[in-house]
């Protein structure tokens, strides 16, 4: 029997917190916009999360009012930094 490693971002709230943490480290461009690839790439490739975990994390962060996702899906805005803890 093979064992798989525990995935830290299977919980959508944990994924959302990490995405907000990543977004907080990025210098926004025009109008507070953070291009989605700036948080997508480190989350997927550096942290080795899955696309499903990314999607669930974004949805959770939007539902909680931490991020605003543009309807085009190309950028987010960080809405609240201090209210996440």
pLDDT in tens, 65-76: 999 999 999 999
Average pLDDT over residues 56-69: 95
Give me the half-sphere count of Cα atoms (radius 13 Å) on the Cβ side of residue 18. Answer: 22
Checking phi first, is residue 28 left (phi over 0); if not, alpha (psi -120 to 50) or beta? beta
33-35 and 75-78 beta bridge pairing: antiparallel
Which pair of structure tokens corresponds to residue 71? 């309807």
Domains assigned to the chain: 12-78 (1.10.10)
Q: Please report the pLDDT score of residue 3 as a whole number.
A: 61
The pLDDT tens digits for 2-48 are 666 688 899 999 999 999 999 999 999 989 999 999 999 999 999 99
- Cβ partners under 8 Å of residue 75, min gap 6: 33, 34, 35, 36
pTM, full prediction: 0.86
């Amino acid at each position: 029997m093979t064992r798989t490693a525990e995935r830290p971002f299977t919980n959508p709230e944990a994924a959302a917190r990490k995405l907000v943490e990543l977004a907080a480290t990025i210098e926004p461009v025009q109008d507070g916009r953070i291009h989605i690839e700036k948080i997508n790439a480190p989350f997927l490739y550096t942290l080795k999360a899955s696309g499903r975990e990314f999607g669930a994390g974004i949805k959770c962060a939007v539902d909680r009012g931490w991020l605003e996702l543009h309807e085009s899906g190309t950028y987010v805005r960080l809405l609240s930094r201090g209210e996440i803890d």
